[in-house]
Amino acid sequence: MFSSAFLVACLAAVAYGTPMARNMQVHETRQSIPSAFKLVGPAAPDTMLDLRIALVQGDMAGLEKALMDVSDPASPLKGQFLSKEQVTVSISA
């Protein structure tokens, strides 16, 4: 039960997360297009692209505690799930 609720909450946090440009860093870049590359049109719909995206984490301990509180049957916060704004604040803290 906990793992399902935790997974849903984590996915919601990722889905509603707001990127913060001031914390982003470029780790890999190219100054020019490799000479062997040429434009032949759009990729086929079944083409797999390998992308790497890193997200900045804020108060993950606080977010985890809030998730535990709403999932614990003995907690007075049982069932009082986080709003989009609360998740955004927890992640960007």
- Residue 60 has a pLDDT of 77
Q: Is the pLDDT of residue 21 over 60?
A: no
Separation CA 70–CA 80 (nearest Å) = 6
Residue 10: domain span: 1-20+48-93
Residue 92 lies in a domain: yes
pTM: 0.32
User: Higher pLDDT residue, 57 or 1?
Assistant: 57
- Residue 46 has a pLDDT of 93
Helix (H) / strand (E) element for 86: namely helix 84-92
Number of domains in the chain: 1
Mean pLDDT of 61-73: 83
Residue 26 lies in a domain: no
Average pLDDT across the chain, whole number: 76
Residue 72 lies in a domain: yes
